[in-house]
Amino acid sequence: MGERICTVFIPCIAAIDFLIFAMANYFEYRPRPKKCRYGFTDFTRISNESRFPVNEVEALYELFKKLSGLIIDDESIHNEELQLALFQTPYGENLILDRVFEIFDQKKNGIIEFEDFVRALNVFHPYALIEDKIDFLFRLYDLRQTGFIEREEVKQMVVAFLMDSDMKLSDDLVEAIIDKTFADADADKDGRINKEEWKAFVLCNPSLLKNMTIPYLKDVTTLFPSFLHNTEVEDL
């Protein structure tokens, strides 16, 4: 049962991994030149606030610009652009993608700005703190943003994942997985999981963090070889 619990929790994060590869497909495109909002000073500041060296912040910026210009060329990622990058269509509803977008949108203004983008990806860096990864997972499942994970929220996310995947589980098995999750995680038995309970649960089930680390974020430039020929920032 423990393995099945991890199976239905882990793939919700796989969307991030897939997103990076989806964005890589746009990296070779060369849109018309335009004035950039960010320069070396900005890249240096952002680097100091994240796990990414300066040249990789620049690479992420080039990647960000490609994604943010898919529909509206305004250097902001809209939900429809995220949909287009992942699913080749800007239309439709996807609970998991919506939650990822909401967490990336740290200013809660309906768009993902570049610094939001870097801070969010920073959580998936191999050197990011375990506590930050656990917190991201918690926020992903805290759909109503109450500071607690409730049974219905877990069910909604599990059902959303099953709809997006080829995995088929009976209703009874889904309920059994949720029952087991709350039996193990809800230490005070109040019917919801608080942050401390979630942290203890994840640490006892480290497989839940499997997809919270994206190895190639350790060296972003290797994913986009063409960037190495165009960067003006030396590898620091």
Indicate the range of 39-43, 82-86, 193-197, 198-202 predicted with least confidence: 82-86
pLDDT digits (tens, 9 = 90+) for 205-225: 888 888 788 888 888 777 665
193 membership: H or E segment, kind and range: strand 192-193
Do residues 106 and 120 touch, judged by C-beta distance below 8 A?
Answer: yes
pLDDT digits (tens, 9 = 90+) for 117-155: 999 999 999 999 999 999 999 999 999 999 999 999 999
Higher pLDDT, 72 or 168: 72
- 26 has a pLDDT exceeding 70: no
pLDDT band at residue 14, thresholds of 50, 70 and 90?
low
Helix ranges (DSSP H) in the chain? 2-9, 11-24, 40-48, 54-68, 79-87, 95-104, 114-122, 130-141, 151-164, 171-185, 195-204
pLDDT digits (tens, 9 = 90+) for 93-124: 788 888 889 999 989 999 999 999 999 999 99
Do residues 157 and 143 touch, judged by C-beta distance below 8 A?
Answer: yes
Token couple for 189: 């038995």
- In this prediction, residue 66 carries a pLDDT of 85
Do residues 167 and 6 touch, judged by C-beta distance below 8 A?
Answer: no
Dihedral sign of CA atoms 122, 127, 132, 137 in order: positive
pLDDT band at residue 32, thresholds of 50, 70 and 90?
very low
DSSP letter (8 states) at residue 109: S
Q: How far apart are the first and last CA of the chain?
A: 46
Tell me what the pLDDT averaged over the chain comes to.
Answer: 82
- 189 has a pLDDT exceeding 60: yes
Q: What are phi and psi of 88, to 5 degrees?
A: 60, 20
